Amino acid sequence: MPQIIDGKAISAKVRAEVAEQTAALKQRGITPGLAVIIVGDDPASRVYVNNKKKACAEVGFYSEEHALPATTTQDELLALIKCLNARSDINGILCQLPLPKGLDDKAVIESIAPIKDVDAFHASNVGRIMLGEYSFLPCTPAGVMELIHSTGIEVSGKECVVIGRSNIVGKPMAMLLLHENGTVTICHSRTRDLAEVTRRADILVAAVGKAKFVTPDMVKEGAVVIDVGMNRDENGKLCGDVDFDAVAPKCSAITPVPGGVGPMTIAMLMRNTLTAALLQNGLE
């Protein structure tokens, strides 16, 4: 039987640690603050923003939401971020992506002060990740690393295969595995004979965005399989990139969807916001 990696429990542990450190920080008169910007009325973005606000309240952060209409101009959005950059009570700023048409995601991310960029999407933070000199790790890949660590597997020297090369998941994921001395291969839609590559993986991370894409013939016996995907199956049910029922019997450990990577992303956002508060107060 494979170990089913319990992302909910691991996420709760990370959030409890953050809450404990936040309580200690509050004793010194410092309350970490997160500003969340949402533009337009995308229902998925609304759910994510509500979850982030709830998580902030649970760990004891101050949070504020800036819900802007879809008609917001680029200049208006940049003016808001400029104002948040200057506020000492706001340690983290995140702008829920994707932005509505007409707004430039990249310019908006680049306008956030890197020290408040708790999503770690700013080019300066991305560069720091490459160099291995980071303060913030991108939330989803950082959450995946926590899940991998929970299995007890040593990344060093292992064959690690990441399917997907997006800037927010695949690329930083590969970098974090490399920093821990994994032998890393990144696959994408142009990869030839994908199954032949993924079958080499001791640690396989799927970040494709296609329901049940990873099938048993793509997985090595005893592999650790991490499923980042969040998709809907033919019945509208939430499912990952991995065909869980078929693949699980071959694995030593595997994440479910839901209850795997998903809960970790918010936990790591809370950790980054705490780190931002510590850094901005000269405490880290």
Pair 263, 48: CB distance under 8 Å: no
34 or 268, CB closer to ligand NAP?
268
Q: DSSP label at 211?
A: T
The 33-39 sheet, strands edge to edge: 62-68, 33-39, 92-95
Give the C-alpha separation, 109 to 31, whole Å.
24
39 or 197, CB closer to ligand NAP?
197
Element (H, E) at 24: helix 7-27
Region of 40 on the Ramachandran plot (φ > 0 left; ψ -120 to 50 alpha; else beta): left
Tell me which residue has its CB nearest to ligand NAP: 166
What's the min distance (Å) between Cβ of 191 and ligand NAP? 6
Give the C-alpha separation, 31 to 258, whole Å.
31
What's the min distance (Å) between Cβ of 144 and ligand NAP? 9
Catalytic residue among 117, 119, 202, 243: 119
Catalytic residue among 21, 52, 202, 220: 52
30 or 209, CB closer to ligand NAP?
209
What's the min distance (Å) between Cβ of 261 and ligand NAP? 4
159 or 227, CB closer to ligand NAP?
227
* Residues in touch with ligand NAP (CB under 6 A): 140, 163-166, 168-170, 187-191, 194, 207-210, 228-231, 261-262, 265
- The residue length of the chain stands at 284
What's the min distance (Å) between Cβ of 105 and ligand NAP? 12
Check if 96 is active-site.
yes
79 or 130, CB closer to ligand NAP?
130
Check if 89 is active-site.
no
Give me 48's structure tokens.
Answer: 């994510």
Burial (0-12, 13-18, 19+ Cβ within 10 Å), 62: middle
What's the min distance (Å) between Cβ of 265 and ligand NAP? 4
In degrees to the nearest 10, what's the CA dihedral of 170, 176, 179, 180? -110
Check if 119 is active-site.
yes
Give me 227's structure tokens.
Answer: 């499923």
Active site positions, annotated: 52, 96, 119
